[in-house]
Amino acid sequence: MNSFMSESTVKNVNFDYIFNEIKPITEYGLKAKQEARPFVRGQEEDLKTEFNKIRAFIESRQRRDIIDILKHIKNILGTIHRAKNSQVLDEVELFEIKNFLLSIEKLDKILRGISNTDIKLLQLTPLPQLYKLLDPADEKLNTFYIYDDYSQKLKEIRNEKRQIEKTIGLLKKKIKEEVESKHNIRLNLKDEVTVSKSQGDKVDELNKEAYLMVSGENYLNIIYKIKNTDEIDQLEKKYGDLTHEEDDEEYRIRQDISASVKEYSDILLKNTEIIGQIDYLIARANFAQKTNSVEPEIIKELQITIKGGRNLKLEKTLKEKHVEYVPIDLNLNKNVVCITGANMGGKTVTLRMIGQVAAMASFGMFVPCEYARICLFEHIFISTGDDQSIDKGLSSFGAEIVNLKEAIKNSDRRSLILIDELAGGTNPKEGFAITKAVVNYLKKKDCITVLTTHYDNVANDKDILNLQVRGLKFTGDDDRIKADSIDQVQKYMDYRLIEVKYSGDIPKDALKIARIAGIDEEIIKDAERYI
Amino acid sequence: MRLIETIIQNNYEIVSIIGLAKNAGKTMTLNYLMEEGAKLNIKTGITSTGRDGENTDIVTQTQKPPIFVTEGMFAATAKKTLMLSNAKTEILETSGISTALGEVILVKVRQKGNMQIAGPVTAKDMKYVAGRLKHYGAQVVFIDGAIDRKAVSSPVITDACIIATGAVLSRDMKKVLEKTAHAVECYSLGETDEHVKNIVRKTNKTCIITEEGRIRVPDIKTSIGGGKIISDLIDEKTSHVFIKGALTSSMLKDLWGNKHLRGIKLIIEDGTRIFADIDVWNEMRRKGLKVEVINKINVLAVTLNPVSPEGYFFDSHVFKENMKKVLPGIKVVDVAWGGDED
């Protein structure tokens, strides 16, 4: 992302916010999101295909069903790689593969039902051959066990074990009944009986009983327990031996299945990738719907037209404060566009909005506008006064110049350059000179540069588009309007942009705002004398 | 009636087993219940609050018996313990809940064997896992609750609990009886009024409630050490004081300093939150301390292990009879030597 947008640009157009809000469900989807690259100039057709896919998911009634399947898809990359490295998978891993295959089958069925040619590009590969190995009895259950059906040998071992278990149970039961009736005692579930030492005769009697042994004793009682006969001991030993054989056979079976998983590992990996793409597309479709975003029209010529554009992060912040966000219309059809007009007129917000819309479109997302027509860039840049370089010890002017250098350097590639108040913090004479020279330089480039400025002569050029914030809604020296809080200004502000021809009129909104905010009238009056 | 039958008849679906100390016979109790379930054809499920998974207790170096699981039973345990088990299992679900011993896996036992059980660590995960085991067919799910993880076996998740106690608590049988009776008393504390519960659920912080339902939330991070601050806010209008988290001896002493406390009710989340010394607790209860809980714990039975791994043991019969005397109305079962009497 770095050569497309610097980290500071990502932050300043609030693209980091957008990126965080897009939430794929599976780990494959997260991976696809992390690996996302912007579509740049020359990839217009690819981007249109991408948008087609998003639109197909938005329109598909099956989106819910797909999401339900995605929710159950686990990350089995580790398991696939283990199989690929000829490791023998354990039961839990085989269970995971089985469930993955079931999910693939279900997803594939749904995707085939969506009649959109671009969705067909997301081709999953179900593996019924491999699935069959994991479901030998064709039970279509999503559980896994080393089933008896895997081999005749396994079946026989298990049957024999069951037989032995049964025989042992019967033998024990027979002995228990015999002992109970012979000595007139009751043995508990653990085949034990507690006898008080005071019953000397009973103790002597039980001590002589071949089927019993002492299993515990204290100063009052003796506990007797049924002793295994040689026959039972032998059966138990046989049971143990069979268990070893069974373990070996199970291992052999797992080895066979794992080898097949290995054989199909590349197809499995490819499937995880496609699931990631589907997941990330759906995440973007969901986000587009949630934010009332639209598919932008992608054009080749250098131009941005936005109707009703919003910066989603600012919109959210304002919503929390119960303030309405005013969407902005603009048509950037010249290489350099100056935005002039009132302080607090939303000029910086407009820059951030343009940047966000362009970045979202480049990253294959629908855009928060009513309509947008936009070209692709190779670089997006924004410089705002609150840049973090200031924290690094540079003055605000110093930081600005460093940023400007980056923009100039990249202006040989098709760039979107957004500059807030270029040289606004230096002396007006030099500030104007620098701004004018930068504008002259950039207007020859294959870039769209949008800058906000207070220097009224910068836009005095037929090659430059001048957009002005409409500004405060009341007119003249209306001083009835006073407010205690500067926040009130937004009530009177008309944020819309209008195209103006150079007039030389100086907007007086700064003084009006100062008045609304309640600056001493004496100062306001005095200031007016200087205009 | 046998213990397992009591559970089924009362429709208890999730039952936790809480040991009052290590080696109090918790695992023995579990094994006993599983065995009984198998004999009576009751499908049981088992999981536990996360544990170390070692074969022996690191603390006491005594054998920690694994659970003996039989065909048809359900279990939820961490993958590492599952792989070490000699029981054969069918994998039903990989829960996505990870623990130090791997992901918690839900299984159905296809061939009997021994299995160490290490389940989820948080209450939320425990609730999910227990619910899933029921979904797959377990009629009752037992939660092996570690002593230091009582919260996970809290009544919010479980329908009832069984307390395992034993000779290991003290060489002096009287002490064992006293400690067990204290635990049962704490767990069985009565529930508070519905309107107080509602206030507490909404506030979800330590708070002081007046007769008119006004609420004051003291500015403390945890209840520990905040006793004095809380006490300062209690006046003649206070009707209830809710303490979130642990109720310790020092907290009780701080609160007791306020003369109005005798007339008001102390509310805690549930009986597992009481960490006060028995002497302090008993003295204050004698003097009239009233404590109620948000969630009552249903103590179904107390199981006894008269043998201590240190080598001494109590007479099973005497131990059981004495326990019955201090716990009137509660089922007492000696799981080590007798089990339920027929």
Smallest Cβ–Cβ distance between A74 and the set B83, B94, B111 belongs to B94
Return left, alpha or beta for B180; rule: phi > 0 is left, psi -120 to 50 is alpha, else beta: alpha
For residues B164 and B145, give the distance between their C-alpha atoms in angstroms, rounded to a whole number: 10
pLDDT beyond 60 at A414:
yes
The residues pairing with B91 across neighbouring beta strands, listed in sequence order, are A144, B107
- Per-residue CA distances from B156 to A427, B16, B240, B297 (Å): 68, 11, 22, 9
- B239 or A24: which leads in pLDDT: A24
For residues A383 and A348, give the distance between their C-alpha atoms in angstroms, rounded to a whole number: 10
Smallest Cβ–Cβ distance between B90 and the set A99, A144, A219 belongs to A144
Contact status, residue A341 vs residue A347, Cβ threshold 8 Å: yes
Pairwise CB contact (< 8 Å): B339 & A188: yes
- Per-residue CA distances from A68 to A26, A64, A76, A103, A170 (Å): 11, 6, 18, 10, 50
Nearest CA in chain B to A90: B83
Interface test with B, best of A94, A99, A145, A185 (most B CBs within 10 A): A145
Pairwise CB contact (< 8 Å): A143 & B108: yes
pLDDT beyond 80 at A365:
yes
pLDDT of amino acid B56: 47
What share of chain A has pLDDT > 70, as a percent? 92
What share of chain B has pLDDT > 70, as a percent? 89
Pairwise CB contact (< 8 Å): A194 & B338: yes
Q: Which residues of B touch A (CB under 8 A)?
A: 35-36, 39, 79, 82-83, 86, 88-94, 96, 103, 105, 108, 110-111, 313, 315-317, 337-339, 342
The strands making up A328-332's β-sheet, listed across from edge to edge, are A297-299, A371-375, A304-309, A328-332
Count of CB pairs separated by less than 8 Å, A with B: 56
Written as one letter, the residue type at B314 is F
SS3 letters across A460-527: CCCCEEEEEEEEECCCCCCCCCCCCCHHHHHHHEEEEEEECCCCCCCCCHHHHHHHHCCCCHHHHHHH
Taking only the tens place, the pLDDT of each residue in B33-54 is: 988 898 889 999 999 876 544 4
Pairwise CB contact (< 8 Å): A95 & B91: yes
Q: Which residues of B touch A161 (CB under 8 A)?
A: 111
pLDDT beyond 80 at A171:
yes
The terminus-to-terminus CA distance of chain A in angstroms comes to: 47
pLDDT beyond 90 at B340:
no
User: How many C-beta atoms surround the C-beta of residue B179 within 10 A?
Assistant: 16
Taking only the tens place, the pLDDT of each residue in A78-127 is: 999 999 999 999 999 999 999 999 999 999 999 988 877 787 778 899 99
Across B258-272, average pLDDT? 84
pLDDT of amino acid B88: 94
- B164 or A400: which leads in pLDDT: B164
Pairwise CB contact (< 8 Å): A216 & B337: yes
pLDDT beyond 60 at A392:
no
Q: Does A161 touch chain B (CB under 8 A)?
A: yes
Q: Which residues of B touch A96 (CB under 8 A)?
A: 94
Pairwise CB contact (< 8 Å): B339 & A190: yes
Smallest Cβ–Cβ distance between A194 and the set B89, B105, B337 belongs to B337
pLDDT band at B152 (very low <50, low <70, confident <90, very high): low
pLDDT of amino acid B61: 44
Smallest Cβ–Cβ distance between B313 and the set A146, A186, A218 belongs to A218
For residues B46 and A321, give the distance between their C-alpha atoms in angstroms, rounded to a whole number: 50
E runs forming strands in B223-325:
238-243, 265-268, 290-293, 299-305
pLDDT beyond 60 at A57:
yes
pLDDT beyond 90 at A273:
yes
**Sign of the Cα pseudo-torsion (A379, A384, A389, A395, in order):** positive
pLDDT of amino acid A398: 75
Name the least confident of A163-167, A344-348, A433-437.
A344-348
Taking only the tens place, the pLDDT of each residue in A179-217 is: 999 998 888 767 888 888 888 888 999 999 989 998 877
Q: Which two tokens stand for residue A239?
A: 């049971």
Length of chain B: 342
Cβ burial, residue B105 (10 Å; 0-12/13-18/19+):
buried
Pairwise CB contact (< 8 Å): A221 & B317: yes
For residues B240 and B234, give the distance between their C-alpha atoms in angstroms, rounded to a whole number: 9
pLDDT of amino acid A390: 47
Beta strands at A493-499 and A464-472: parallel, antiparallel or unpaired: antiparallel
Nearest CA in chain B to A92: B91
Name the least confident of A2-6, A492-496, B50-54, B169-173.
B50-54
pTM over 0.80: yes
Q: Does A194 touch chain B (CB under 8 A)?
A: yes
Interface test with B, best of A75, A90, A91 (most B CBs within 10 A): A91
pLDDT band at A259 (very low <50, low <70, confident <90, very high): very high
- B65 or A343: which leads in pLDDT: A343
Contact status, residue B260 vs residue B161, Cβ threshold 8 Å: no
pLDDT of amino acid B60: 45
For residues A172 and A170, give the distance between their C-alpha atoms in angstroms, rounded to a whole number: 5
pLDDT of amino acid A481: 55
pLDDT beyond 90 at A391:
no
pLDDT of amino acid A82: 96
Taking only the tens place, the pLDDT of each residue in A274-305 is: 999 999 999 999 999 999 999 999 999 999 99
- A425 or B212: which leads in pLDDT: B212
pLDDT beyond 80 at B339:
no
Question: Which H or E element spans position A216?
Answer: strand A212-217
pLDDT of amino acid A120: 76
| Alpha-carbon gap: A90 to the closest alpha carbon of chain B (Å) | 8
pLDDT band at B272 (very low <50, low <70, confident <90, very high): confident
Q: Which residues of B touch A172 (CB under 8 A)?
A: none
pLDDT of amino acid B59: 45
Pairwise CB contact (< 8 Å): A146 & B88: yes
Pairwise CB contact (< 8 Å): A189 & B39: yes
Q: Which residues of A touch B105 (CB under 8 A)?
A: 92
Rounded mean pLDDT of chain A?
87
Rounded mean pLDDT of chain B?
85
Taking only the tens place, the pLDDT of each residue in B212-260 is: 888 888 877 665 667 888 888 888 888 899 988 888 888 888 888 787 7
The residues pairing with A225 across neighbouring beta strands, listed in sequence order, are A192, A213
pLDDT band at A393 (very low <50, low <70, confident <90, very high): low
Pairwise CB contact (< 8 Å): B94 & A95: yes
Across B305-314, average pLDDT? 83
- Per-residue CA distances from B280 to A275, A434, B173, B245, B291 (Å): 61, 80, 21, 18, 14
What is the DSSP-derived secondary structure letter of residue A311? -
For residues A420 and A423, give the distance between their C-alpha atoms in angstroms, rounded to a whole number: 9
Smallest Cβ–Cβ distance between B83 and the set A90, A146, A188 belongs to A90
Q: Which residues of A touch B90 (CB under 8 A)?
A: 143-145
**Sign of the Cα pseudo-torsion (B18, B24, B27, B31, in order):** negative
Which DSSP string do the residues of B14-82 spell out, in sequence order?
EEEEEESSTTSSHHHHHHHHHHHHHHTT--EEEEES-----SB-TTT--B-PPEEE-TT-EEEEEHHHH
- Per-residue CA distances from A159 to A162, A164, B70, B85, B110 (Å): 5, 9, 17, 21, 13
Across A149-155, average pLDDT? 95
Pairwise CB contact (< 8 Å): A143 & B89: no
Smallest Cβ–Cβ distance between B90 and the set A145, A158, A192 belongs to A145
Across B97-115, average pLDDT? 92
Name the least confident of A21-35, A144-158, B112-126.
B112-126
Interface test with A, best of B313, B337, B340, B342 (most A CBs within 10 A): B337
Contact status, residue B112 vs residue B68, Cβ threshold 8 Å: yes
pLDDT of amino acid B148: 52
| Alpha-carbon gap: A277 to the closest alpha carbon of chain B (Å) | 22
Which DSSP string do the residues of A37-76 spell out, in sequence order?
----TT-HHHHHHHHHHHHHHHH-TTHHHHHHHHHT----
Contact status, residue A304 vs residue A448, Cβ threshold 8 Å: yes
For residues A434 and A423, give the distance between their C-alpha atoms in angstroms, rounded to a whole number: 7
Of the candidates B41, B17, B232, the one whose C-alpha atom is nearest the C-alpha of residue B142 is B17
Question: Which H or E element spans position A165?
Answer: helix A152-183
The residues pairing with B88 across neighbouring beta strands, listed in sequence order, are B111
| Alpha-carbon gap: A145 to the closest alpha carbon of chain B (Å) | 4
